[in-house]
Amino acid sequence: MKETSGHFQLKRCFTDAFRGLYWVLKTEWNFRIHLGMFFLAVLLGWFFKISAVEWLAVIICSALVIVAEVLNTSLEYLADAVHPEMDRGVGRAKDAAAAGVMIAAVAASVVGAIVFLPRTWEWLTTLIEK
């Protein structure tokens, strides 16, 4: 029976979303790597006291990578459920989705390098001089 109350629909939406997040976290190694890199970026941002604009760049890029990974995973699950046997078209769709994750991850890495490499270099050279 479909729930009609707005409160129950909202609760169900969050329940479904958290179940999906749990499933991706439990089953997808790459998602855990991306999530770990996000937490590393947050720790580095806190340690280096990055600016608000840099925080926005780091958060938006991290979210883009994580969303791309979740969408890639969902496409893979759906494709495997609909067409479990090997198929060139399904394989190309999966490869294209994986390419999207790679593009997002490379862009996030460039942003991370722009934000964190100069600060890391300065911190390291300060340590060496002491």
104, with CB counted inside 10 A (0-12, 13-18, 19+), is buried
Q: What are phi and psi of 86, to 5 degrees?
A: -60, 135
Residue 51 parent element (H or E) = none
**Range of the structural domain that residue 42 is part of:** 29-129
Query: Would 19 be classed as within a structural domain?
Result: no
pLDDT above 70: residue 39: yes
Query: Would 20 be classed as within a structural domain?
Result: no
Range in 5-9, 19-23, 32-36, 71-75 the model is least confident about: 5-9
pLDDT above 60: residue 3: no
**pLDDT higher for 10 or 51?**
51
**Dihedral sign for Cα atoms in the order 26, 29, 34, 35:** positive
Query: Would 83 be classed as within a structural domain?
Result: yes
Query: Would 24 be classed as within a structural domain?
Result: no
What is the C-alpha to C-alpha distance for residues 70 and 36, in angstroms, rounded to an integer? 15
Query: Would 37 be classed as within a structural domain?
Result: yes
Average pLDDT in the chain: 93
pLDDT above 70: residue 2: no
How many domains would you assign to the chain? 1
Query: Would 72 be classed as within a structural domain?
Result: yes
**Dihedral sign for Cα atoms in the order 32, 17, 61, 75:** positive
pLDDT above 50: residue 49: yes
Average the pLDDT over 68-91 and give the result.
94
Query: Would 96 be classed as within a structural domain?
Result: yes
Domain containing residue 37: CATH number: 1.10.287.3610
Query: Would 8 be classed as within a structural domain?
Result: no
